Amino acid sequence: MTTPQQTASPAHHSVVPTNLKKRGWLRWVLVAVVVAILALGVGRALNKRKQTQEEAQAAATRLQAPVVFTLSPEDTVVATQQTLTQQVSISGSLRATQSAVIKAKVAGELLGLQVREGDAVQAGQVLARIDTTEYQARVQQAERQAQAAAAQVAIAERAQNNNQALVQQGFISPTALETSRGTLDSAQFTYKAAVSAADIARKALADTEVRSPIAGQVASRTVQNGERVGIDARILEVVDLRELEVEAALTPAEAVLVRVGQEAKLTVEGLNRPVPAKVSRISPMAQAGSRSVLVYLKVAQVAGLRHGLFVNGAIQVGTTQGVAIPLSAIRNDRPQPYVQLLRPLANQEDGAQAEVVHQTVRELARGLPASATDTALMATIESIANNSMITSANAGFLQEKTRIRVSSASTAPSAMPSTTTPSR
């Protein structure tokens, strides 16, 4: 008789192969999916690499092509024949024509100094005193010595008179008379020396009064009451602002153009309007070290001017004619000054109208346009033809042979900033 276990065993052995087949089929499906994914990733990577190489080749091609820069009208100026009011630039500091540094003439304790910076003083006004105790005692000593010397002179004179009478009567010899004469002369010299010493003592006493030699205003005060000052110690500085001048150093070439009486316009720090001035003096000699020539300009009376303010400006020395450009367009970052000339191109296939040429120039004169209100300083130059186009200071530095396109017709120089943008 067959048992249940014996009848079930054949069915059990038939299921095992079927499960193994299903597992093998799934494994192959997974392998195929992985291979497909890998193949897709490799394809995409190859495609991306090919695309990157094409972009790099295109960029390299674009880099090999010449770059054309576009300039705005404010980036260019035209060199034209002009008449300029010729100028000589100057700079310096305002200073009072009349000024005085008040110093102590004698040593001692300073007393009674009341004036301070900005106070007005008069010529001869007593501003302070130095303690007079010692100097009054010296005056008294010198005067008493002079009185003693005068008494000795009187005694010597009486002896001399007596000896003259005795010589005439024959009581003493002429030699004794000569001796008494010498004694009188010595007494008189001693008296004169004592009088001179008394005068010196009185002068020292008078010097204890600190007086202002000029009328003006106190510019600085360096000591305080109660301080002991030495001889020539600086106490006060007084300036007279009624007359101001500027001392300017010019090169020999500039000094040749300057004459006494020429007008000038100065810019003073702190003032928003120009200050007129006139050349009043020219030094007859050049400075030993710099070989410069000093020129002095008398400044007109304008409210707000102060001793020591920095000024700059220009002296009008005449007119000049020539091909002129703005002074700011001349570049000085090389040993010789130059301009960035825009030379026209015959081949304009890429849209470029000109290329940059660094043209060395020599400045002839500086000035302002005679028929314009523009205050921009101009310069006449050599080596540039009339109506030549150059870059202004706004354009900045450009390499030689840079290809240029101007957005519109060039206009007069302008101070408005602009940017230089590349165009491909």
Is 118 found in the same domain as 167? yes
Q: Which of 218, 235, 250 is the last residue of a domain?
A: 218
- Asked if residue 391 lies in contact with residue 84, where contact means CB atoms within 8 angstroms, the answer is no
Lowest mean pLDDT among 69-83, 262-276, 288-302, 343-357: 343-357
Residue 5, pLDDT > 50, answer: no
Is 127 found in the same domain as 79? no
What's the mean pLDDT in 399-405? 86
Residue 280 lies inside a defined structural domain of this protein = no
pLDDT per residue as tens digits for the range 208-231: 999 999 999 999 999 999 999 999
Is 368 found in the same domain as 345? yes
Is 334 found in the same domain as 416? yes
Structure token digits, residue 121:
């003083």
Residue 189 lies inside a defined structural domain of this protein = yes
Is 156 found in the same domain as 54? no
Average pLDDT value for the chain: 84
Residue 118, pLDDT > 60, answer: yes
Residue 7 lies inside a defined structural domain of this protein = no
What is the structure's pLDDT at 419?
Answer: 34
Is 410 found in the same domain as 325? yes
pLDDT per residue as tens digits for the range 330-353: 999 889 999 999 988 887 766 788
Tell me how crowded residue 135 is: count the other CB atoms within 10 A of its CB.
20
Range of 13-22, 41-50, 130-139, 404-413 with top mean pLDDT:
130-139
Is 365 found in the same domain as 410? yes
Domains contained in the chain, number: 3
Residue 229 lies inside a defined structural domain of this protein = no
Residue 168 lies inside a defined structural domain of this protein = yes
Residue 422, pLDDT > 80, answer: no
Residue 112 lies inside a defined structural domain of this protein = yes
Is 116 found in the same domain as 53? no
The boundaries of the domain holding residue 202 are 100-218
What is the structure's pLDDT at 65?
Answer: 56
Is 48 found in the same domain as 147? no
Residue 2 lies inside a defined structural domain of this protein = no
What is the structure's pLDDT at 117?
Answer: 93
Residue 405 lies inside a defined structural domain of this protein = yes
Q: Which of 190, 218, 246 is the last residue of a domain?
A: 218
pLDDT per residue as tens digits for the range 365-385: 878 887 655 667 888 998 889
Structure token digits, residue 410:
């060039």
Is 79 found in the same domain as 23? no
Rounded to two decimals, the pTM is 0.58
Residue 109, pLDDT > 50, answer: yes
Is 20 found in the same domain as 74? no
What's the mean pLDDT in 111-121? 94
Q: Which of 218, 237, 270 is the last residue of a domain?
A: 218
Residues above pLDDT 70, as percent of the chain: 87
- Asked if residue 116 lies in contact with residue 218, where contact means CB atoms within 8 angstroms, the answer is yes
User: At 63, is the pLDDT very low, low, confident or very high (cuts 50, 70, 90)?
Assistant: low
Is 107 found in the same domain as 72? no
